[in-house]
Structure 1
Amino acid sequence: MDRLTALPRTSEMAGAALKQADLVSTLPASAHISLVTSLGGVRALEKDWLALETDSQGTTTVFQTYEWASTWCKIYCAGETGSSIHIITGYDQNRLVFLWPLMLTRRVGLNVLCWLTEPFGQYGDVLCAKGQNAQMWVGQALAFIRRLKGIDVLRLRHVRDDSAIAASAGKILVNAHLDERAPYLDLTQFATEADYENRYTGTQRKRRKKIRKHLEELGEVSFTRLPLGTLSDKAIVDAMSEKNKWLAERGRINQIMACPFHSEFLKALARGKQRSIEMVVTELRAGDRAVSWEISFRFGGTHFAYITSHANDLTDLSPGRLHFDLSQRACLADGMKSFDLMVPYDAHKESWSSACMPTQDYYLPLSRKGLVAGKLYLSYIRPKLRAIYYRLPQSLLRYINPLRRNAEG
């Protein structure tokens, strides 16, 4: 790991943004904070990070696990064009008790500190060991960040309301007012599969039977969890290809799905050691043809539905609806407690969820440029642009998005 023994002076602007009064206490003499900035440093954290996952406070998600983060770093943090790893670690009596996975990126002339693996990681949070003062560690980590040179703004997207970072620093960070909701289904309310079946209305049951009937015209319908390896690799490629076709027809841009290395990242996860997370790739077939897929991860009793996709030419048959039903039944049978459909909230997710977890975007300016960008763009312009974008008709989006791709490329 890379430990900073001497820190540069705090900038005047950062000091104004985060007052010392906001820090509840100082670190005990037995504790220290370090910064990890290399792949070697990430690998050195493996044992301690895995231990912290099982001993962490709150609702740690799959996106804060060592397996997820280290695999992503191998793909995206190599070479001069890769993201700069900035993982803040906290030790007490030489035991890792706090971890804040971040990375430094360059965006529109600004140096932005954001969640490690963004935008692939759908939620961001810190890990803090049970029995530790999370607010103290977050406060001291923020003071540590203020002393790092060359950072304009700390930007944290998709912070769940039930996260440790929201509870510890929600009043210190600036809310960007980009409210979002993450729908999920509480599986603990169903004692049996019959109880799950009873959640459907008569109309919903008829629709599901109709979908199956139309698919059976193509051949026998089967739902399979694929073994990780050659078969899952093909499913990952097919699922992403069909998802991109679906997005293109609707004039939408998805930064994650458009990434050329995304499939390699998922394949690497599938072929990893799978110590703390469980990758699940399922496929729905009608006869000899695959008609839909789900690429998911399980951690801490929650099933995270990371990518759902279907054959684009079969959109009108809605194979994804049947796939969701069969996937949730499989989760119930496997003892999962929650089925997380994640951000963003979409109307089609309503029938597959029982509640939503609010998420917020936060930022903290660390320079004068960061202050201007935060107030003008993050808090004002971006929320308005996002609202307008999602109201635009598909015909206009199909015209705008190629221009946007060229501008960003």
Structure 2
Amino acid sequence: MLAATAKAADPMRTTETPTPERSGPCTFTLVTSRAEFDALESDWNDLFDHAGRGTQIFQTFNWCWHWCNHYLEAATREHPNEKLAIVAGRRDGRLVLVCPFVVKQVAGLRQLNWLGAPVSQYGDILIEDTSDTLELLREAWGFVQAEIAPDVARFRKVREDAAIMPLLTELKARSIEQLQAPYLDVGSAKDFETYEQRYSPRSRRNRKRLGRRLEERGTIVFEHLTGGARAKEVAKLAIGMKRAWLKDRGLVSPAFADPRMDRFFEAVAEGTERPVGCVTSTLLSGDEVAAIEVAFHAKDRIVMHVIVFNLEFEKAGAGVLLLEKTIADSFGDRCRTFDLLAPADGYKLDWADATAGVNDWVLPLSIKGWAYLRIYLGFVRQSVKTVLAAMPKDLRRKVAARFLSSGEKPSEAEAKHDPD
């Protein structure tokens, strides 16, 4: 089923809460140390509980806590530390706004980014919905400019319905990349059997045929894990499978080449401290792991972060069958939206009801920032991506092998993934 590029019903909150009136001035603080960040835990959680959306799972305290453990505090020569620059806004002593920012030096510029790269898939702020929300955003941005003074703000993967979008629109931020995030409106049907009727008879027959073919190789077993040593092991295996898939396609992904990715996913999958709603799912064919999915649950949304198949099962449809199973099981989990994230690859559109826009935004704030936008982002980066995309597959494999073995970090090249 081809997804419509439209704003179909995409529920994000489990309950509606009244919009509070402004009750007093907001005071802002800049959080720059790990100790200050940790001290926000209780208030941050309270803010997300009553004002957060399922799409903002990557802005929850627990998610950011794991990111700090594995990215902020693991500096290397190739990956220098970003510095925390979290803006916390309080009104009458209550936390009403969190802007999870980091700053880093890039090509001589002071750049403001989201906390969470490269594992966070949506960037946003948390803010209480009040009668003066836009004014509060303006005040927070004025505080950012005065206290942080960045040359450029680069906000990646911002949904069109993100809480920060009214501010970015008003500031006339520049969009440098436009993507779509497909999703399924599973709340529109009482069960998967009813929902499945929207797909063509042919596609349903094809999945049944794939299942029978895979059964011939060994008994199919599906496994859902919500924490523990086995989940940690499966998450590590998923990242290894993704690297193998990238290498086979000759694709370069600095994010997956970084060993911090392994450690992050192992920690969130094991879930022993500050859980983030991680569920690792596997499809076993006999004794072999044929496909793995790593997803996260927040409020009434399931976010599919990683889905990958064992290359030995490439023609067996293992990824398609695992995705079908996890979608079917979401109907018994109070889920209303099954989010496939950007980019809108073909296999995602085959499942999705509609898509949501996801943009990368740049806001130059100095002469150096304007030069960075025009020269690097506007020309150099795009030229490198074009050259890589035009390379023959065998040559791309050699380039990828060189980068992965040397630890060098090439210019950004987003790697797409199709489960089958």
TM range (shorter): 0.7 to 0.9
Which stretch shifts more, 151-160 or 384-393? Answer: 384-393
Partner of 2:193: 194
Q: Determine if the alignment matches structure 1 residue 34 to structure 2 residue 29.
A: yes
Q: CA offset at residue 168 of structure 1?
A: 2.8
How many residues matched? 383
The 8 Å contact of residues 57 and 164 in structure 1, kept in 2 or not, is answered as no
Partner of 2:284: 285
Partner of 2:63: 68
Q: Determine if the alignment matches structure 1 residue 45 to structure 2 residue 40.
A: yes
Partner of 2:316: 317
> Any residues of structure 2 matched to 1:219-368 within 5 Å, and which?
219-272=218-271, 277-368=276-367
Q: CA offset at residue 152 of structure 1?
A: 2.1
Structure 1 residues 395 and 152: alpha-carbon distance in aligned structure 2, compared to 1, 3 A threshold: same
Partner of 1:9: none
Q: CA offset at residue 210 of structure 1?
A: 2.0
Q: Which amino acid aligns with 2:64?
A: A
C-alpha distance in 1 between matches for 2:233 and 2:54: 32
The 8 Å contact of residues 222 and 282 in structure 2, kept in 1 or not, is answered as yes
Q: Which amino acid aligns with 1:398?
A: R
Q: CA offset at residue 106 of structure 1?
A: 2.8
C-alpha distance in 1 between matches for 2:70 and 2:320: 33
TM-score by length of structure 1 reads: 0.87
Q: CA offset at residue 332 of structure 1?
A: 1.3
Q: CA offset at residue 156 of structure 1?
A: 0.2
Q: CA offset at residue 86 of structure 1?
A: 1.1
Q: Which amino acid aligns with 1:108?
A: A
Structure 1 residues 278 and 408: alpha-carbon distance in aligned structure 2, compared to 1, 3 A threshold: closer
Q: CA offset at residue 226 of structure 1?
A: 2.0
Partner of 1:396: 395
Q: CA offset at residue 29 of structure 1?
A: 6.4
C-alpha distance in 2 between matches for 1:266 and 1:402: 23
Q: Which amino acid aligns with 1:207?
A: N
Q: CA offset at residue 119 of structure 1?
A: 1.8
Q: What 5-or-longer segments of structure 1 have no aligned partner?
A: 1-26
Q: Which amino acid aligns with 1:83?
A: E
C-alpha distance in 1 between matches for 2:277 and 2:139: 33
* Deviations, residues 187-241 of structure 1 (Å, cap 9, x unaligned): 1122222212212212212221222122112211111112411111111111111
Partner of 2:11: none
C-alpha distance in 2 between matches for 1:304 and 1:149: 32
Structure 1 residues 272 and 233: alpha-carbon distance in aligned structure 2, compared to 1, 3 A threshold: closer
Q: CA offset at residue 383 of structure 1?
A: 4.5
Q: Which amino acid aligns with 1:68?
A: W
C-alpha distance in 1 between matches for 2:341 and 2:73: 28
Partner of 2:178: 179
The 8 Å contact of residues 250 and 397 in structure 2, kept in 1 or not, is answered as yes
Q: Which amino acid aligns with 1:408?
A: K
C-alpha distance in 2 between matches for 1:265 and 1:338: 25
Provide the secondary structure at the position in 2 that maps to 1:137: helix
C-alpha distance in 2 between matches for 1:316 and 1:60: 33
C-alpha distance in 1 between matches for 2:172 and 2:53: 20
Structure 1 residues 190 and 163: alpha-carbon distance in aligned structure 2, compared to 1, 3 A threshold: same
The 8 Å contact of residues 64 and 125 in structure 1, kept in 2 or not, is answered as yes
Partner of 1:370: 369
The 8 Å contact of residues 86 and 104 in structure 1, kept in 2 or not, is answered as yes
Which stretch shifts more, 396-405 or 231-240? Answer: 396-405
The 8 Å contact of residues 242 and 311 in structure 1, kept in 2 or not, is answered as yes
Partner of 1:142: 141
Structure 1 residues 287 and 113: alpha-carbon distance in aligned structure 2, compared to 1, 3 A threshold: same
Partner of 1:207: 206
C-alpha distance in 2 between matches for 1:68 and 1:31: 26
The 8 Å contact of residues 89 and 98 in structure 2, kept in 1 or not, is answered as yes
C-alpha distance in 1 between matches for 2:384 and 2:23: 45
Partner of 1:124: 123
Partner of 1:55: 50
Partner of 1:21: none
Q: CA offset at residue 381 of structure 1?
A: 4.4
